[in-house]
Amino acid sequence: MSEYVACDGLQVALAGGVLRLVLDRPEKRNALTDDIVGALTECISLAGRDEAVRAVLLTGNGDHFCSGFDIVARNQEGGPRPRVGSIQRRVPALAHRLVPLVATVQTPVVAVARGWVAGIGLHLVLAADFAVVAEDARLWEPFAERGFTPDSGATWLLPRRIGEMRAREVLLLGRALSGLEAADWGMVHAAVPGDDLDAAGDALVQRLAQGPTVTLGLTKWLLHVGASSPFDRQLEHEAFALELSSRSEDFREGLAAFTEKRPTRFSGR
């Protein structure tokens, strides 16, 4: 596969089947830029096609996961005022590509977050297959307080994760949740003490990386399309996925391990 490319503000490393993507602007609470969003999109897209990648870990350097998009820096760049429609033209190619990709790529994605988890940072956490956060993390939607409307999937993801009324509380009233509250609401997979966060995230991503990769990817696809499929169409989807997964090497390994009464040793193929 092509080489994974980092950029200013994003560390990228691939080892042991895990692609580690680390937001690296700690002085800005890891606020995203266009370049970081573009690099994340390219890395995750490539991971979905790269047989060397069996899981993706997304985290942040320093005390915070991500405080959202760095709109202050963008509006201080100077130069002529952009023509009308610049946001509508730019967002579909950046944030509105990245978040759906995290939700749909057939590679498990684990987000590990501490400190501020806001705006698009929160949406990346919501789109991940699993999110482990520090108990004292702060999960927040800043849009109403800043006077503009949500983007990058907030109004689609939040109602599906926590229900419509709680989504209204978060988006319209701007309620910030602690990591513990977010776990209690079902917004994230788990909240753990800050000192245990990295170990908990690593254990989870390693478990996924050692799993039946084809099966996990197809199951993720089934869960996603099932949210908008009629029952009969979803049964067709399940039959299709079953046909593919039953042809994998990992399926044969699962049967052999069961017969031989031993742990599985999945290869991800």
Is the domain covering 10-209 a CATH 3.90.320.10 domain?
Answer: no
| 223/184 Cα distance (integer angstroms) | 22
pLDDT digits (tens, 9 = 90+) for 170-214: 999 999 999 999 999 999 999 999 999 999 999 999 999 999 999
Average pLDDT on 203-228 reads 97
Residue 50: per-residue pLDDT: 96
Domain boundaries along the sequence of the chain: 10-209, 213-260
β-sheet with 138-140: strand ranges across: 116-118, 138-140, 177-178
Q: Is the pLDDT of residue 75 over 80?
A: no
Q: What is the DSSP letter of 80?
A: S
* 259-266 LR contacts (CB < 8 Å, sep 24+): 264/212, 266/210, 266/211, 266/212, 266/213
Q: Mean pLDDT, the chain, as a whole number?
A: 94
Residue 83: per-residue pLDDT: 74
